[in-house]
Structures are given as C-alpha cells and as structure tokens.
Structure 1
C-alpha cells in the first residue's frame, strides 16, 4: 500500500499537486459513496445505523435525546444551517456579494454548485428511496427519503464551495485554512445534528458528506480555472 501511494504521488508530479489531490478526492469519494450505497441496499449497514441512532437517546426512553431540552433546541438550530431556508439565504447573499464585487463568473459558480447539489440530492433520494429511521421518534419533521442526507450534502456543497471561492480572494495560508476549517466545521455539525434528531442514519450523513465533498471539489477546480483566466482574482491581500 505504501509503495502504491508513493507511485501515485510520483504520477502527480507532472501536474499541479492540488489538481492531482482533487482527482484523488473525486475518485476516492466516488468509490466510498458506491460502497455505502451497496451496504445500504443490501441491508448490511442496518445494525450499525440503528446502534448509532440509539446512542443519542436515553436508555429507558427512546423519545428522550441525551442532553435534555436545551441541547435539543441547540441541535435544531445547528441543523437549520443545512436547511433550504438558510442555504438559500447564504447562497443569495454570497451571489449578491460577488456580483457587487464584479465577479459574475464566481457568482454563477456558487449558484450552479448549490442548485446542482439540490438536484443531485433529490435525484438520488428518489432513486434509493430509503425510509427514514424508525428505531427512535423523530425530534423534527422530515418527509423525503433518507439516503443520502440532503442537509449534509447541501451543507458540504454550499459552505465548501463558498469557502473555496473565498480562498481565491486571500493570499495568506492561515486565512485559507481558517476559511476551509469553518466550512468543514459547519458541515460536520449539520450532519451530526441529523443523526441526533433521529431523522437520518449515519450512513445517510456519510453519503451526503461524500457527495458534497466531491461536488465542492469539482467546483473548487472550476474556481481555480476561473482565477487563472482572470475571472476570479484576489482582491484583498490580508
């Protein structure tokens, strides 16, 4: 395995390293998603999924989530970060900012990424048609199919894509790391909140994260291409 990784890295020496790593993310993520989907379809993930969902509930009452009412309310606030209303507000705000900053191509990129993520989520939910968890009561309303998690997918797509565009506008590495770190943190919290609320299995969330990361990576490559063509240029040097 070590030799395989070394040879793959050497193969990437002839091209941009970031592009090479992006290709690995897309290929590896695609393999992971298909593996998860196969486990779900065959029912081989049921035991793991149900065990993890039950971990967030008290032993004597599956309707009672750990942490009490205060934590439940906090988790609902966090899960809203991946909901349609907040995602739409964030996307419109980002697009408006980019348009005002005369970065129309970047604005289109963010818009296409978010809308594309929604279409991917809806299409795959309809295809797999996995029922929502029934092992515990839901702590909020959820109507559509369960696999993959739309909140997790859209959070990854939206925040990571916007983060990728923002990193093209700053020069300092620590700021780039901070921006991507915040995007990853929000994405992680949204996914965990879905399992806590009992509306998704962990494999739903993992699949959503994976697809979101793949799509965001492709959009990040597009952002780099736009920057090299002078369409997404750094405007601040901080």
Structure 2
C-alpha cells in the first residue's frame, strides 16, 4: 500500500519571529524554493540568489554545485535515507527521489488506485522513475534534457547555432529552418520517450522546468498524464514535515 500521508505543512518556530518554513533545492541550472506563507506552500524557481536564504530554519538539498555559504547547515541537508521511498539506490539524485515521494504522497492523499506510477522529470537531465504499488523504486531512465541536447549540437557541430527552447506546439513537425529543426528534434525526442512510458500501463506524472514545453503535445495524444510541475518541491516540503524537522 502507499505510505500514509502525513501533515501537509511544515512550520519552523523560532524565538521572536512568526512561524516560517523554507526549503531550497539547488539544481544544476536553477535554485528551486518552497516557502510557507502562513496558509500554504508557495513554489518558485530562480537563478542562484544568496539573499533569499533565511538566517535560520532552512531545509535544503542539492543536485548541483553547492556554494560555500554558512547558512547551508549540513545537519539540515536532506539525504536519500530520509525520503520514504523503499529501495532507493545510493546513486540516484535526490530530486528524483523527492519527485517520486511527491507523486506517491499526492496519490495517497487523493486516494488514487494503488497501481504504481512513473514520474517523468523534464529537467536539465530528463529522468523516468518507476515506483511500484508498494512505494518501492524499481528502476528508471536518464537522458539529456532538451537544453543539454541543444547545447551538445551547438558545441559539437560547427554549423549549428545556439538556440533557445520554445513550446513544442509552436513548431511545425518538419521545420525549414535549422534552429526550429533543432528545437523540434529535441522536444520530439522527449515526447516520444514520455509517450512510450505512458503506454506501459502505469499512471504517469510529469514535472520539471521543461514540462510546460511538452504538455500540450502530450495532451493532444490523449495520453493519461498527470501534470504537476512542482512535484519535486511538493515532495521536499512533505519530507521536511514527515521528518518533523524544524
């Protein structure tokens, strides 16, 4: 059965200040924040911003480079052992573990069928993470995210330009320009991987920074996909509460 859902908020109490909560995931390209505003968790994403780190009470984790900051207390860094997903290997990124827990927890809260699930995280590195009906990690896949694919083409081929991502539904299937062809190819590759995973028969949850570029095309394919862009932060704030940190 799914892990039982826990309290849905985490509040840090500190002398002479009102209750607060803040979680930070240091990613490969951006920082990801979960902040408790007194009523609910608010999620947002930014470039590295040291000024937002609170002097006390921060719960944090990292998959990217960790800056040498005194406020990043190692005792308040989340580890894989603290994420309530069973049989997590020690090599898996904590972002994948947190996204998996976010999906398992939400499925339990919403009383969804306990059939297992797959999480597709369209981040800097695209990942698929499979969780069975017991909440146990059973495997996954990794491949370059769309931006890494574009960067690889631009750096590895003299004639190919540096280009930015745009939404997949804004691109023709077979574009005539080089930039659009690169954009379409990268996003199309991710879409096909997600589509193949969705056909495995498990509910598929989609999150990550590039998920918004893909979701319209995936919906057009009438695939059963749950779009939760901040699933990693949902999982992180829940784990902080699950462990009664603060």
Same-fold status (TM-score > 0.5): no
Which has more helix, going by share of residues?
1
**TM-score, normalised with respect to structure 1:** 0.28
Which has more strand, going by share of residues?
2
Q: Larger relative contact order (C-alpha < 8 A, sep ≥ 6)?
A: 1
